[in-house]
Amino acid sequence: MQVAYLLYDRFTALDITGPHEVFNSVPDVESVFVGENAGPCRNESDTLSMVADKSLEEVTAPDILVVPGGFGTRNLLDHEPLLEWIRSVDETSTWTTSVCTGALLLAAAGLLDGRPATTHWLARETLGELGAEPVADRVVIDGKYATGAGVSAGIDMALTLVSEIYGTEVAQAVQLGIEYDPQPPLDAGSPEKAPGEIVELVSAVFTARESS
Amino acid sequence: MQVAYLLYDRFTALDITGPHEVFNSVPDVESVFVGENAGPCRNESDTLSMVADKSLEEVTAPDILVVPGGFGTRNLLDHEPLLEWIRSVDETSTWTTSVCTGALLLAAAGLLDGRPATTHWLARETLGELGAEPVADRVVIDGKYATGAGVSAGIDMALTLVSEIYGTEVAQAVQLGIEYDPQPPLDAGSPEKAPGEIVELVSAVFTARESS
């Protein structure tokens, strides 16, 4: 079982390390970090680098594809070499997945046409414009397409898939291994739960960052 | 405000990217990834590399230190150059923090003597042997020392600190930005919640990995 994790300029690190920590806890799962070119990729806030160990040409048939989000997605929505690779590996993948605005890349590649899918709450409209049917759920599975909501939702998405693929006991072992017993000190993790003025603040900050 | 994220050979990626995604969502926080030598560091399962942009000598006075866990900690418990650096930056830090078995490094450096602290549930005994008072909580704050339990607990630890340092509204905005509204599909994230046979399984797997 090979899981390919896509890296690109201005990705979000937690989007990709969350699912990796989950899938990678299952024995005999091979992980490969892949980018358009092999080498370091800088995250969206220019604060860290993760390394693409392989180039796109070197990774042709992963069983699972994980596409993270990040402000960098916006520049890639018409970047055919990447979209073509996504379409190509999707032809033979068992699961094609995304976290956060990674769903925009799957949609831009034409894989989510008419399908229910989720993304970061601030990107739902864009996801709809790209042909998917945005759903305000944390994890959406439609056929072999699994999408997670914003950033931290990748952990829930991957754990849901591990349970689906390997069964409840393996998923329980994975959850216990990474001690995933979340206890957020506040309850503001969705636009439905956060105070209105916080929703407006985050919306304004993200809109400003996106256009920067 | 500078946050230093320590990298070393065989670290756990989610331990460090969780807190980073939280702290980094606060405006004007500077992130620096630091290792004994600058350059790529491989994670504990040899599946990914993150880059230390600075060497220890280049990072002398971070406001917050984040020490992740990983099977690599075991080889570092008597590695004086690293422990000396931890002690040195601790002298001027506002907060000295760890996730998972990162607490073993803080304890080995002598910073947790007699202090309540948490770590991965399988490392509590070792943490006690190193002089701390192990607590089975997800986040423990004692003075300026903040420790998180296993792997995924770094998100809760960092969000707790952001709330403490910047107040509730900023922490709410951070939580909403990373859509941290956890919905695990199972409820096995702690040894108290997981079935007994799963606890035994994970314990056996981790013990085998640690001695490999």
Over range B161-182, report the average pLDDT: 97
Mean pLDDT (chain B, rounded): 97
Over range B85-112, report the average pLDDT: 98
Stretch 142-171 of chain A: residues touching chain B, C-beta under 8 Å? 149-153, 155-156, 159-160, 163, 168-169, 171
Per-residue model confidence as pLDDT tens digits over A135-155: 999 999 999 999 999 999 999
Question: Tell me, what's the pLDDT at B6?
Answer: 98
pTM greater than 0.90? yes
Contacts of A12 (CB under 8 A, 6+ apart): A43, A44, A68, A69, A70, A99, A100, A151, B21
Residue A200 has pLDDT above 80, yes or no: yes
A2 near B CB under 8 A? no
Rg (alpha carbons) of chain A, rounded to whole number: 16
CB A3 within 8 A of CB A54: no
Mean pLDDT (chain A, rounded): 97
Return the SS3 of A118: coil
Question: Tell me, what's the pLDDT at A212?
Answer: 64
Verify whether the Cβ–Cβ distance A190 to B205 is below 8 Å.
no
A64 near B CB under 8 A? no
Q: Tally Cβ neighbours within 10 Å of residue A78.
A: 8
Return the higher-pLDDT residue of A167 and B208.
Answer: A167
Per-residue model confidence as pLDDT tens digits over A63-73: 999 999 999 99
Q: What ipTM goes with this model?
A: 0.96
B140 contacts in A (CB within 8 Å)? none
User: Could you give the residue range(s) of every CATH 3.40.50.880 domain in chain B?
Assistant: 2-181
Helix (H) / strand (E) containing B34: strand B30-35
**Domain A2-181 falls under CATH 3.40.50.880:** yes
Per-residue model confidence as pLDDT tens digits over A90-112: 999 999 999 999 999 999 999 99
CB B149 within 8 A of CB A160: no
